[in-house]
Amino acid sequence: MATERNDIEKALSRRYEAGFITDIEMESLPAGLSEDIVRAISAKKEEPQWMTDWRLAAYRHWLTMSTPEWAKLKIAPIDFQAISYYAAPKSRPKSLAEVDPKLLEAYDKLGVPLHERAKLAGVAVDAVFDSVSVGTTFRKELAEAGVIFCSMSEAVREHPELVQKYLGTVVPVGDNYFAALNSAVFSDGSFVFIPRGVRCPMELSTYFRINAGHTGQFERTLIIAEERATVSYLEGCTAPMRDENQLHAAVVELVALDDANIKYSTVQNWYPGDENGVGGIYNFVTKRGDCRGARSKISWTQVETGSAITWKYPSCVLRGDDSVGEFYSVALTHHRQQADTGTKMIHIGRNTKSKIISKGISAGHGQNTYRGLVKVEKGAEGARNYTQCDSLLIGKKCGAHTFPYIEVKHPGAIVEHEATTSKISDDQLFYCRARGIGEEDAVSMIVDGFCKQVFKELPMEFAVEAKKLLELSLEGAVG
Amino acid sequence: MLKIDNLHVSVAGREILKGLSLQVNAGEVHAIMGPNGAGKSTLGHVLAGRDGYEVTAGSVEFDGKNLFELEPEERAAAGVFLAFQYPVEIPGVNNTYFLKAALNAQRKVRGEPELDSMQFLKRVREKLSVLHISDDLLHRAVNAGFSGGEKKRNEIFQMAVLEPRLAILDETDSGLDIDALKMVAEGVNHMRDANRAFVVVTHYQRLLDYIVPDFVHVLADGRIVESGDKSLAFKLEEHGYAWLKERKLAGSEA
């Protein structure tokens, strides 16, 4: 019996390698949400009054709102009073050298080295553990280039003028239910500022980790690229395996001024729950980029393999003339996972262009929905959009759904939409096997081929990780 | 090398092969001809291990082993290769990458060291020059958007790189123009040697002008009804399959 159990555990943990729990002394606020809790979070973070007021305004607005019902998702009701809105490791390090070794070890296990040898990797990392940032690497090198890369809490303290100028200007406090909640209780996240004319000398990345139980994670990320600035930012996420559903409601705001270029890549691997749909992260995320300046460009790339529920529409507001928005997405749902994801491209400026490449993969009982809006406003002369939306089904019990919305108010706009749905065919599998390639490898290969257009947009290390993640997530999908 | 004995195979409850027997030795080329619906493609698929074919009686031995105990990928590793009549498209998967994965998967099963990219490319270049295939084929996705002729060339190219011991060509000549046909034949002829065997399934005698078989068999109604040397193919071409039927009828009445 014992060995059998071990085998099962091994199989499970192989499927979700990030499912471990780090035993570390935490301090957290009691469960529940009220004005007092909002004030307490703000006080914990030693925030100025304007920030506290901003949070309270968001909280009061949130109270007037209700959960969105339009997504094609079946969600058990969420008890917002049962969640703790703040959890942080007790020790407060002043520098990376003081970070609790257990924490470093946790990130090491996840393949995110935070200590000195991280320098080899050449990627600057901000690590967010539950509600707080535990460390940011390469600060000195970045500062020399004029780049600010720090935790959101720190930005509120050290760069209040920038935060006040930009926070909430892309995703307003009352934008939607989860954005309002985030605005009230967000605990940490990353802040990036690339000044005029600077090409960020390295990739920036934030690694989000939920560790504590009965806790939600509400991070807030703000990236500002001034005129002619360029930055590539990566985001990764994992959580332990727990049989409760945990809430993750993040807000990401991007601002691109004239000729600025922001590339934002996500590999989302929150715990998806088990085969029967027990546990897993509820992932309600608002991500939006504002191409505020002329000729600016914002490109979203996401690989969504985790979470029990994914509700996420990284969008671009193409305000500046000749600005460009892109969205590349791979979303995979296996077992009982549900995803309702897509994008919004809002064409306001003249000659604005957008491109949407969405690849949905469903296996097991997974339900995968693409929901996308292409909107061309009256003044958007010469606007162009190209949308390609492909679904791949593995097995007979999964589902793929596509809801494209197109609103065009300028007669000259060119909007193209292509969609396909296919199955991994027996023919394809047999062909691979007849050449000597085993069934699981064949499926990985076919899925990888299906996702190629998106993977090639990812920075190389991420592309490799994304590919591996898909393979793991699809284990046992055939046969 | 290959010994098929009294093979009966059903697809969805309908018997397609009805007692087929055939022995193929190393170094031989066997041509199998026959009318539509005789079971030619079924034979290829059963040997390669496709699902959905139920073997109700008979046996197939490959190098003395029961072929039906092996999964399709194990058969490939053992040296069985099927050139598909309708090669399958795999969008987004690079042709070279696919072939390297296939070769190394086979080598791994056989306990041979895997080839690295340099070694693999060297092998590919050698084969390309022999087959007069352009590099272009390497950079495209597996069969995606290939013309009919290109797909068949790609099958022969795969065969050349994988170097199987037994190659079954399922109507590889159908839909080919004369140049492509010659290229396919050249590919096969170049690989003919004492350790390798070919089973060439075809409708037409034309291919056999270029791949000269040691034996010709006629497959009709699920079994081999006539075997002979290459002259049998000419007779068939001249008289058609109806002639054979008449001869058989005459024979059974006598």
Question: Tens digits of per-residue pLDDT, A194-232?
Answer: 999 999 988 888 887 777 667 788 989 999 999 999 999
A357 touches chain B (CB under 8 A): no
Nearby residues of A361 by Cβ (< 8 Å), 6 or more positions away? A330, A331, A332, A333, A368, A391, A392, A394, A447, A450, A451, A470, A474
Report pLDDT for B236: 82
Greater confidence (A321 vs B150) lies with A321
B73 touches chain A (CB under 8 A): yes
B84 touches chain A (CB under 8 A): yes
Q: Which position has the token pair 């592309």?
A: A463
B76 CB neighbours in chain A (<8 A) are 433-436
Is residue A354 predicted with pLDDT exceeding 70? yes
Residue environment code for A30-61, b if the CB has 16+ CB neighbours within 10 A, otherwise e: ebebeeebbeebbebbebeeebbebbebbbeb
| Mean predicted confidence (pLDDT) in A312-341 | 94
Whether the Cβ atoms of residue A450 and residue B91 lie closer than 8 Å to each other? yes
Report pLDDT for B142: 95
Structure tokens at A365: 């009982």
* Percentage of residues of chain A with pLDDT beyond 70: 83
pLDDT confidence bin for B250, thresholds 50/70/90: low
Q: How far is C-alpha A161 from the geometric centre of its chain's CA atoms?
A: 26
B50 touches chain A (CB under 8 A): yes
Predicted confidence (pLDDT) per residue in A46-76, tens digit: 999 999 999 999 999 999 999 888 889 888 8
B48 touches chain A (CB under 8 A): yes
Report pLDDT for A350: 97
Q: How far is B168 from chain A (nearest CA, A)?
A: 12
B109 CB neighbours in chain A (<8 A) are 436
pTM of the model: 0.83
Predicted confidence (pLDDT) per residue in A425-472, tens digit: 889 999 999 999 998 899 889 988 999 889 888 877 777 777 777 777
Whether the Cβ atoms of residue B133 and residue B157 lie closer than 8 Å to each other? yes
Report pLDDT for A5: 40
Report pLDDT for A6: 45
B101 CB neighbours in chain A (<8 A) are 437, 441, 445
A450 CB neighbours in chain B (<8 A) are 91-92
Q: How far is B88 from chain A (nearest CA, A)?
A: 6
Sheet holding A324-333, edge to edge: A132-136, A123-129, A203-209, A230-238, A261-268, A297-304, A324-333, A353-363, A384-394, A414-423
Report pLDDT for A128: 72
Predicted confidence (pLDDT) per residue in A139-150, tens digit: 788 889 999 999
Instruction: Among B46, B88, B169, pick the best mutation site for testing chain A contact (most A Cβ within 10 A).
Output: B88
> Mutual orientation of helices A49-63 and A35-44 as an angle, nearest 10°?
150
Q: Which position has the token pair 């194990």?
A: B74
pLDDT confidence bin for B253, thresholds 50/70/90: very low
CA nearest B51 in A: which residue?
A430
Phi/psi at A401 (5° precision)? -135, 145
Q: Which position has the token pair 């007092």?
A: A36
Question: What are the start-end ranges of the H helices in A16-168?
Answer: 35-44, 49-63, 101-109, 139-144, 152-158, 160-166
B136 touches chain A (CB under 8 A): no
The CATH classification number of B29-38+71-253 equals 3.40.50.300
Partnered with residue A389 across adjacent β-strands are A358, A419
Q: What SS3 state is found at B195?
A: coil
Predicted confidence (pLDDT) per residue in B151-171, tens digit: 999 999 999 999 999 999 999
pLDDT confidence bin for A100, thresholds 50/70/90: low
| Mean predicted confidence (pLDDT) in A369-390 | 96
pLDDT confidence bin for A91, thresholds 50/70/90: low
Q: What SS3 state is found at A36?
A: helix
For B93, the closest of A425, A434, A449 (CB atoms) is A449
A425 CB neighbours in chain B (<8 A) are 88
How much is the ipTM here?
Answer: 0.94
Say which range, A113-122, B40-49, B64-73, B140-149, has the weakest mean pLDDT: A113-122
Q: What SS3 state is found at A419?
A: strand
Give the domain ranges of chain B. 29-38+71-253
Is residue A12 predicted with pLDDT exceeding 50? no
Q: What is d(CA A91, CA A27) in angstroms, rounded to the nearest whole number?
A: 9
For A436, the closest of B77, B87, B93 (CB atoms) is B77
- Alpha-carbon torsion angle B51, B53, B57, B60, nearest 10: -60
Q: How far is C-alpha A413 from the geometric centre of its chain's CA atoms?
A: 30
